[in-house]
Amino acid sequence: MSSTPQIPRSETTTVEFTVRYAETDQMGIAYHANYLVWCDMARTAFLRERGFSYRELEAGGLLLAVVEAAVRYRSPARFEDQLRIQCWPREVSRRSVEFGYVIANAGSDRLVATARTALIALDRTHALSRLPAAVREILTAIPDPVRL
């Protein structure tokens, strides 16, 4: 089993939570689609910690739409496991941002999954837009600490 790579926490956001029964399948393992929900939790926390909330961005006319998502499952997460997700920007352009994620068991440091999501900027009419300069400034891309 792999252990979680060490990522400088100042460049990432970390979210910890417990896997709920409702998030597991009949085998007691976290259902695969929930990993994307957990990535969303980490991504919104990343922006919030840096002074931007999705609600405020959307009120200002910026929509961030997920256009691509990938998860690589490394080991199972089970009911009542305490998980830790670290999130960071991998790539940033004028119109898009890609985030990376490492999901680990917080108790054992066992690597559970890696993931990435790509988002594009849209305006209120859902037309392609640009990320505001203030948002791009907080989205400094950092190298992946692990192969995603």
Q: Which residues are catalytic?
A: 25
Question: Does residue 37 lie in a domain region?
Answer: yes
Question: Does residue 84 lie in a domain region?
Answer: yes
Cα 3 to the center of its chain, rounded Å: 19
Non-local (6+) Cβ contacts of 32 within 8 A are 71, 73
Question: Does residue 143 lie in a domain region?
Answer: no
The structure tokens listed for 132 are: 């505001």
Q: What is the pLDDT of residues 131-145, one digit of tens each?
A: 999 899 889 999 998
What's the CA gap between 14 and 67, in Å, rounded? 23
The structure tokens listed for 146 are: 């692990």
Question: Does residue 2 lie in a domain region?
Answer: no
User: What pLDDT sits at residue 146?
Assistant: 85
- We report the CATH number of the domain holding residue 98 as 3.10.129.10
Cα 146 to Cα 10, 55, 125: the distances in Å are: 17, 31, 37
pTM of the predicted protein model:
0.90
User: What pLDDT sits at residue 115?
Assistant: 98
Range of the domain at 24: 9-138
Question: Does residue 4 lie in a domain region?
Answer: no
Q: For the chain, how many structural domains are there in total?
A: 1
Region 54-62: mean pLDDT is 92
Question: Does residue 30 lie in a domain region?
Answer: yes
Region 20-47: mean pLDDT is 96
